[in-house]
Amino acid sequence: MRISRIEAFEVAMGLEEPYTIAYETYDSASNVFIRLDTGTGPVGFGCAAPDLEVTGETAETVLTAIDDVVRPMLVGSDPLRTAMLSERIREPLVAHPSARAAVDMALHDILGKASDQPVWKLLGGFRSRIRTSITIGILPRAETVERAHAWIGAGFKCLKIKGGVDHLEDAERIIAVREAVGRNIELRFDANQGYTVAQSVEFVEKTRAAKIAIFEQPTPRHEPERLGRVTNQVSIPVMADESLMDLRDAFRLARKDLVDMVNVKLMKVGGIADALQVNSVARAAGLEVMIGCMDESAFAIAAGLHFALARPNVEYADLDGHIGLIGDPAANAVQLKDGFLYPVDRPGIGCTPRF
């Protein structure tokens, strides 16, 4: 079996509800799908969700990377030699992590189909479902509470609130949500790099009664020492997101004991294979792991889900980037029920996108 042809497609999708985080407002998402043909063998699919602020990529740069690097380097190769092919494109695509993630997904998709097994079982098959949080962007207090009630009514038991513009207003919103939803709903908070160390500490003190479960990336990504200072001064778990882009970042964060948790996103680290390596570093260091996402087609969400289901220490999920996407060609790639995500029971990633 050999890779005979590689195709890539940009898919622009709108959002039913635009949302705002500390540094940007999103109302649409452009993903790039990749298709690896193997002649008479299985076809593999992958998906890149580039984000200029986070991954440094756009849909255009991903398409160029596939044209200039992936196609000439992989056509004619054995797709089951996943490690060899991943290493072949690693250096040329070091600045294109979501493009590497798309290729990695497609190779795992072929591997699963060739062995007639879903990827999550091939990788370890530790659990068959995982609870996910649902994200509420930066909104006025009353609207934040309204959205919280709506998501709980839809079956979610875990809410992630976005903030990072004004730490005092954020604290008021969190307290208001906790008072509105009661004690049985898990609350997470993501400042998206918007706070200073002092603001982070004050925010945690003012929201102590709200029992926040996770405090995500309060300080700027390129200053991990500040993240460590927050971790050492607050009483709740601090998570690195934008500060963890690759395996080296995971090692640095772990070695210096700068955080309690890490948010692993396939689009940041370059796919499932690299996520497994980052996860191993985190487990060795005693760091808790969450699988996260960008604004991604359900196909990419499914790939992240397969990774999370396979490993015992990936206990948290924030896999909601597909919810509310308009025109997703892989909308049925995962199953959502009462706040839990389940994989589709088919080989590989489990879905054939419809273009």
3-state secondary structure 181-241: HCCCCEEEEECCCCCCHHHHHHHHHHCHHHCCCEEECCCCCCCHHHHHHHHHHCCCCEEEC
Q: Which residue has the tokens 């984000």?
A: 51
- Stretch (H or E) spanning 139: none
Q: Based on the number of CB atoms within 10 Å of its own CB, is 273 exposed (0-12), middle (13-18) or buried (19 or more)?
A: buried
- What are the tens digits of pLDDT across the range 266-315? 999 999 999 999 999 999 999 999 999 999 999 999 999 999 999 999 99
Tally helices (H) and strands (E) across the chain: 13, 15
pLDDT recorded at residue 168: 98
Q: CB under 8 Å to 334, separation ≥6 — which residues?
A: 298, 301, 302, 305, 319, 322, 341, 342, 343, 344
* DSSP class per residue in 267-335: HHHTSHHHHHHHHHHHHHHT-EEEE---S--HHHHHHHHHHHHH-TTEEEE---TTTTEET-TTTTSEE
- What are the tens digits of pLDDT across the range 29-50? 999 999 999 998 999 999 999 9
| Average pLDDT rounded to a whole number, residues 61-66 | 98
- What are the tens digits of pLDDT across the range 150-208? 999 999 999 999 999 999 999 999 999 999 999 999 999 999 999 999 999 999 999 99
Average pLDDT, the chain: 97
pLDDT recorded at residue 22: 81
Task: Evaluate if residue 23 carries a pLDDT over 90.
Answer: no
- Domains of the chain in sequence order: 5-116 (3.30.390.10), 121-343 (3.20.20.120)
Question: CB count, 10 Å around CB of 307?
Answer: 24
- What are the tens digits of pLDDT across the range 93-145? 999 999 999 999 999 999 999 999 999 999 999 999 999 999 999 999 999 99
